[in-house]
Chains A and B, each alone.
Chain A
Amino acid sequence: MILGILASQISGHLTATSPVAGYKLWLDGADTSKITLSGSAVTQWTDKSANAYTFTQGTSTYRPTSGLNTQNGKNILDFDYNRNLQSTAAASTWNFLHNGTEHTIFFAVDSNTNGDMNLMNTNQATTQEKGFYIWQGNPNYISHVVTNGTSGNPSVANNTANYSLTLNFTYVTIIGKPSNATAANRSDVRFKQGSAVKNNTATTAVSTANCAQSLMIGDYLQGAGVGWTGKIGEIIIYDSALSSADILTNQQYLAAKWNV
């Protein structure tokens, strides 16, 4: 962890130049060495963790673009409602996002509109399936949902309120504890370094069966057309609930990197 700390001091704080160690997934749009293109369209985005997961798109009309826009001078990927990249790893790789394992998710994004759109998904966005998803709801909220295969009875459904990502590049932290005995503690969403939003009231038990699909970034189903419309700069996922200190370190890292 020490190696990830920049040896310069900014306003009395040390700012990390990489996320806290232990991440299971780190997709970094600013690192163009991990992106392959055909023209300006992305065919593969490779994870910077030791797992080196690959997220791919082999169909031309579903590819996001890269190299066309920046945030704070750094490369980002542009998604447009039916663009997506999906992990080539087995779906079970991502079971920790719904099966009760505690986890922490960071993402740095904006959206171009206030409509409904999927950011990431393992359940094909149907409550009848097992998995999880992060969704921007209309007009201005983020949903963190864990489904267990029982229609209408999610294990987690934390809908924030009145926070707009539209044309507002920012970073969000989600701490998931889907089996926590206290419903409100099952999901904790924080915009930038703001206070925790803990609106979940669902108490249904999680499923430990495999999720419906491998992790998809930018939509919930190939060609579904309710995908993310906006920029995605970075996604970092841990299969544990980070400490408050580590969360703050990553938030400061994202704030400095993307200048938000």
Chain B
Amino acid sequence: MKWYQWQSIEDFDLWHNALCLQLGYPITPVNQSTGLPDDNAQKVVRYCDARLVDGVYIAQVEDIYADGLTMIDYIPALPK
């Protein structure tokens, strides 16, 4: 995964909503032991979250979903 940036949260949401639709979210997970779907367990509902750093919204995205995104060339400072 690499870091990418968006100029506004609306821009991020537009991209993220389209990706979630493409990925078929929400996805019902399966029990690891039985392999059967578990409707009561937490579903996969989002792909990633954006964080505001230095005036832009950034998020990590896998290469296969990053077409057309603007990559940032630094690792953002993380809080401790």
Contacts and interface: CB of A to CB of B under 8 A. Distances in A.
Interface of A: 31-33, 35-38, 41, 43-44, 46, 54, 56-63, 66-67, 75, 82, 116, 125, 221-226
B44 A38 contact: yes
21 contacts: A32-B33, A36-B30, A36-B31, A36-B32, A36-B38, A37-B32, A38-B27, A38-B44, A41-B44, A43-B29, A43-B43, A56-B42, A57-B42, A58-B44, A59-B45, A59-B47, A59-B48, A62-B48, A125-B80, A226-B79, A226-B80
A224 B78 contact: yes
B32 A32 contact: yes
Interface string B26-59: 0101111110001001111111110100000001
B44 A43 contact: yes
Smallest CB-CB A-B distances: 7 pairs: A56-B42, A36-B29, A32-B32, A36-B41, A33-B33, A32-B33, A35-B32
B34 A58 contact: no
A44 B32 contact: no
B49 A60 contact: no
Contacts of B23: 60
A43 B41 CA distance: 8
Contacts of A125: 80
A6 B44 CA distance: 39
Contacts of A33: 31-34
A222 B78 contact: no
A225 to B, nearest CB: 4
A62 B45 CA distance: 12
A176 to B, nearest CB: 23
B14 interface: no
Interface in B4-31: 23, 27, 29-31
B64 interface: no
Contacts of A46: 41
Contacts, number: 84
Interface of B: 1, 23, 27, 29-34, 38, 41-49, 51, 59-62, 78-80
Given A61-B60, A125-B80, A221-B79, A37 B45 contact: no
Contacts of B47: 59-61
B46 A58 contact: yes
A7 B41 CA distance: 35
B4 to A, nearest CB: 12
A120 B47 CA distance: 23
B65 to A, nearest CB: 10
A117 B11 CA distance: 32
Nearest to B36: A36
Contacts of A66: 32
Given A33-B32, A35-B31, A61-B48, A43 B78 contact: no
Given A32-B33, A58-B46, 6 more contacts: A32-B32, A35-B33, A36-B32, A37-B31, A44-B29, A60-B47
A57 B43 CA distance: 8
Contacts of A67: 32
Contacts of B41: 36, 43-44, 46, 54, 56
